């Protein structure tokens, strides 16, 4: 089976690695891919939002399934584009159609969906340039800290959490009137701050049936103890130890069930992954956000724990027969530690050779920002390499990842050494 995966990160390398293990023989293509995917697949040098080039590649390589890694092509309607094209319409796409992808593409749309289906989430209101004064008044009515979210996609940077009321008002003005995040902040959601511990839950749905994948927790800040700037994700742990059976049952009945039913009720076509960002406040789950794809680096711990054939799962999604498949999950804990280029998430260098990739290791090495230069694997992004390991618990798994990382080097390598610090 010929499968095209869109994306270039650790998530896409992990998806390719998992698809390659299927008992269905596959020929994989990744666009644009990285040095890791090049070892399993044919990389195609094209942009994930260049739909015309993707169409040409799909035809040229006789693609029989499209798996979409990142949100951008989904929010811009890649699934609808395939359905509308006579030459592409029979190729199943893993990833929702545009109307449903708005769950990630618009925070206001997601909050309206959550409210309409009575799914627990922070109280909120949305504002535009026309009613910025009402936004100031809403901020006056809230207690610190203040949570401001650009409505549209802002590459993970569109959320501000501020302690000071005046600063919150200034930032609201910058977003609405000063286009701080471009068109993405022409509408801003202001919401109540929720104090708790975060976790993510992953669901695969065919629009009717669904399967719940393992939970995971990622570490977004660059510095030890969750300090410093936000990143794409510095590591992840699965399962989340504090998500016990009672809490998981609340997530099922209060969040997952109403989400799947809500999609059907609202006529939002969905075949793909739903990534539900949750926060545990006391003993209760609240939804912070929906993403319409898998997380990165969460994928690097969730998919290695999945023992079910991923090609079979994706086929079942395409045929709306997910109820006929059962999930097998590895009971061990998986952790991934992301090594990054020094300076990231601010300015950093690229193009440095990565040493130690050929060492014997007990870990799985998933490439994020890497590329091949004259046959050598070199850094090509801020997040470079995710090192995934298994263990009886997260401490044991992390110890293996850290040991593996001792044997890997590139110029100015950095990784967090305190993952799991908040789980004690």
The separation between CA 41 and the C-alpha centre of its own chain, rounded to angstroms, equals 22
Contacts for 137-140: CB closer than 8 Å, 24+ residues apart: 138/190, 139/165, 139/168, 139/169, 139/172, 139/190, 140/165
Contacts for 59-62: CB closer than 8 Å, 24+ residues apart: 59/87, 59/88, 61/2, 61/4, 61/27, 61/29, 62/2
Q: Which of 53, 159, 318, 327 binds ligand AMP (CB under 6 A)?
A: 159
Region of 203-211, 295-303, 361-369, 379-387 interacting with ligand GLY (CB under 6 A): 295-303
Cα–Cα distance between 63 and 65 in angstroms, integer? 6
Q: Is 104 in the site for ligand GLY (CB under 6 A)?
A: no
Site for ligand AMP in 254-313 (CB under 6 A): 277, 288-289
Q: How far is the CB of 288 from ligand AMP (least distance, A)?
A: 5
Cβ proximity to ligand GLY: between 107 and 352 the closer is: 107
Cβ proximity to ligand GLY: between 12 and 298 the closer is: 298
The separation between CA 335 and the C-alpha centre of its own chain, rounded to angstroms, equals 16
Contacted by 122, from ligand GLY, ligand AMP, none: CB < 5 to 8 Å by type: ligand AMP
Q: Which of 28, 101, 114, 147 binds ligand AMP (CB under 6 A)?
A: 147
Site for ligand GLY in 223-242 (CB under 6 A): 233
Cβ proximity to ligand AMP: between 82 and 290 the closer is: 290
Task: Let me know: does 306 contact 327? Beta carbons within 8 Å.
Answer: yes
Contacted by 105, from ligand GLY, ligand AMP, none: CB < 5 to 8 Å by type: none
Count, in order, helices (H) and strands (E) of the chain: 14, 23
Site for ligand AMP in 338-367 (CB under 6 A): none
Task: Let me know: does 238 contact 216? Beta carbons within 8 Å.
Answer: yes
Q: Is 240 in the site for ligand AMP (CB under 6 A)?
A: no
Q: Which of 12, 171, 296, 309 binds ligand GLY (CB under 6 A)?
A: 296
> Cβ contacts of residue 167 below 8 Å, gap of 6+?
none
Q: How far is the CB of 229 from ligand AMP (least distance, A)?
A: 13
Q: Which of 152, 295, 345, 420 binds ligand GLY (CB under 6 A)?
A: 295
Cβ proximity to ligand GLY: between 139 and 160 the closer is: 160
Region of 248-256, 294-302, 306-314, 383-391 interacting with ligand GLY (CB under 6 A): 294-302
Q: Could you write out the three-class secondary structure of 121-150?
A: ECCEEEEEHHHHHHHHHHHHHCCCCEEEEE
Q: Which of 12, 171, 218, 309 binds ligand GLY (CB under 6 A)?
A: 218
Q: In Å, what is the CA distance from 175 to each residue of 132, 162, 327, 328?
A: 10, 14, 44, 45
Beta strand spans in 192-271 (E): 197-205, 210-212, 217-218, 221-223, 227-230, 235-238
Q: In DSSP terms, which residues pair with 14 in a beta bridge?
A: none
Q: In DSSP terms, which residues pair with 7 in a beta bridge?
A: 32
Q: Is 300 in the site for ligand GLY (CB under 6 A)?
A: no
Q: Is 414 in the site for ligand AMP (CB under 6 A)?
A: no
Region of 38-46, 192-200, 266-274, 388-396 interacting with ligand AMP (CB under 6 A): 192-200
Contacted by 334, from ligand AMP, ligand GLY, none: CB < 5 to 8 Å by type: none
Q: In Å, what is the CA distance from 105 to each residue of 74, 255, 256, 290, 331?
A: 9, 20, 19, 9, 34
Contacted by 256, from ligand GLY, ligand AMP, none: CB < 5 to 8 Å by type: none
Region of 178-186, 188-196, 231-239, 391-399 interacting with ligand AMP (CB under 6 A): 188-196
Q: How far is the CB of 148 from ligand GLY (least distance, A)?
A: 18
Task: Let me know: does 125 contact 190? Beta carbons within 8 Å.
Answer: yes
Q: How far is the CB of 289 from ligand AMP (least distance, A)?
A: 4
Task: Let me know: does 111 contact 126? Beta carbons within 8 Å.
Answer: yes
Q: Is 194 in the site for ligand AMP (CB under 6 A)?
A: yes
Contacted by 289, from ligand GLY, ligand AMP, none: CB < 5 to 8 Å by type: ligand AMP
Q: How far is the CB of 148 from ligand AMP (least distance, A)?
A: 10
- Cα end-to-end span (Å), the chain: 45
Q: In DSSP terms, which residues pair with 189 in a beta bridge?
A: 126, 149
Which residues in this chain contact ligand GLY in the complex, by CB under 6 A? 218, 233, 291, 295-296, 298
Which residues in this chain contact ligand AMP in the complex, by CB under 6 A? 122, 147, 149, 159, 191, 193-194, 198, 277, 288-289
């Amino acid at each position: 089976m010929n499968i095209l995966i869109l994306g270039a990160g650790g998530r896409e390398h992990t998806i390719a690695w998992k698809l390659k293990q299927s008992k269905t023989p596959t020929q994989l293509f990744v666009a644009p891919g990285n040095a890791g995917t090049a070892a399993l697949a044919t990389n195609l040098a094209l942009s994930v939002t260049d739909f015309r080039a993707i169409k040409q590649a799909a035809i040229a390589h006789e693609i029989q399934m499209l798996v979409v890694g990142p949100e951008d092509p989904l929010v811009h309607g890649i699934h609808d584009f395939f359905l509308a094209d006579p030459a592409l319409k029979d190729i199943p796409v893993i990833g929702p159609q545009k109307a449903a992808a708005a769950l990630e593409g618009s925070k206001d749309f997601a909050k309206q969906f959550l409210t309409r289906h009575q799914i627990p989430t922070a109280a909120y209101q949305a504002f535009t340039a026309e009613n910025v004064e009402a936004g100031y008044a809403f901020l006056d009515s809230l207690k610190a800290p203040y949570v401001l979210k650009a409505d549209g996609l802002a590459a993970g940077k569109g959320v501000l959490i501020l302690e000071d009321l005046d600063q919150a008002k200034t930032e609201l003005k910058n977003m609405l009137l000063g286009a701080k995040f471009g068109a993405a902040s022409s509408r801003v959601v202001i919401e109540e701050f929720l104090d708790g511990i975060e976790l993510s839950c992953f669901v695969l749905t065919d629009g009717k049936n669904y399967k719940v994948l393992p939970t995971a927790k990622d570490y977004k800040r660059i510095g030890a103890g969750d300090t410093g700037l936000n990143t794409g994700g510095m590591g992840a742990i699965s399962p989340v130890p504090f998500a016990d059976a009672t809490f998981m049952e609340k997530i099922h009945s209060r969040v997952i069930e109403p989400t799947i039913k809500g999609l059907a009720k609202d006529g939002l076509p969905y075949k793909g992954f739903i990534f539900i960002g949750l926060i545990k406040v006391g003993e209760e789950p609240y939804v912070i956000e929906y993403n319409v794809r898998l997380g990165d680096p969460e994928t690097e711990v969730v998919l290695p724990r999945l023992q079910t054939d991923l090609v079979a799962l994706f086929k079942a999604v395409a045929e709306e027969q997910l109820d006929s498949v059962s999930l097998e999950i590895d009971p061990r804990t998986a952790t991934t530690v992301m090594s990054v280029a020094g300076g990231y998430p601010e300015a950093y260098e690229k193009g440095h050779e990565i040493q130690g990739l050929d060492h014997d290791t007990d870990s799985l090495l998933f490439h994020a920002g890497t590329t091949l230069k004259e046959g050598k694997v070199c850094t090509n992004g801020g997040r470079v390499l995710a090192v995934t390991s298994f263990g009886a618990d997260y401490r044991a798994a992390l110890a293996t990842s850290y040991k593996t990382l001792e044997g890997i080097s590139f110029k100015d390598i950095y990784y967090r050494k305190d993952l799991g610090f908040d789980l004690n």
